[in-house]
Amino acid sequence: MAIQLVTDQLSNVLDDTLRSQLVGNFKEIEKALNDLDGAQARLNSDQDKINQDLKNIKDGNEIRDVNVQAIVNILTKYDVPIQIVNGKVVDTTKEGE
């Protein structure tokens, strides 16, 4: 959307034409500024939603990691040969055992 302001065509005389041209320019500028304020508010709202989603994902990952570690601890307690290595659950039995 291009904003068309009266620039080179401004009246050279201090009359109603000049006044209406200036008022028209100010109305266009005001509308553009209000549109920018609305867009900024939407961007802030979207950013807040994204940040909350990221926090939820992070919290979910932490809960998952704790749960996986608890499962590994329980299985280890019952002599199931597994452990977490580099974030993965692996079988710790050696081949041929």
Taking the whole predicted model, whether its pTM rises above 0.75 is answered as: no
Range of the domain at 65: 16-91
pLDDT in tens, 36-87: 999 999 999 999 999 999 999 999 999 998 998 898 888 888 777 777 777 7
Residue 5 lies in a domain: no
DSSP 19-68: HHHHHHHHHHHHHHHHHHHHHHHHHHHHHHHHHHHHHHHHHHHHHHHHHH
C-alpha 17/C-alpha 24 separation (Å) is: 10
Residue 6 lies in a domain: no
Number of domains composing the chain: 1
C-alpha 5/C-alpha 25 separation (Å) is: 5
For 70, the 3-state DSSP assignment is helix
